[in-house]
Amino acid sequence: MFACKLIEKALEQNLVSYIHLDNQQNAEKMDEMLWTYRDVSFIPHVILPANDKVSVFIGNAEENIDIPKADFLINLSNQIPEFLTQFAKTAEILDQEDQILDEGRKRYAYYRKQGYTLNYYQL
Domains (range + CATH), the chain: 2-113 (3.40.50.10110)
Q: What integer is the mean pLDDT of 101-111?
A: 88
- More confident call, 23 vs 117: 23
Where residue 96 falls (left for φ over 0; alpha for ψ -120 to 50; beta otherwise) is alpha
pLDDT, tens digit (0-9, with 9 covering 90-100), for 47-105: 998 878 889 999 998 777 788 889 999 999 988 988 988 999 999 888 777 888 888 88
Question: Exposure string (b/e) for 20-45, b if CB count within 10 Å is 16 or more?
Answer: bbeeeebbeebbebbeebeeeeebeb
Q: What is the pTM of this model?
A: 0.87
Contact by Cβ (8 Å): 22, 78: yes
Report the candidate in 74, 77, 78, 88 with the shortest Cα–Cα distance to residue 117: 88
Is the pLDDT assigned to residue 22 strictly greater than 70?
Answer: yes
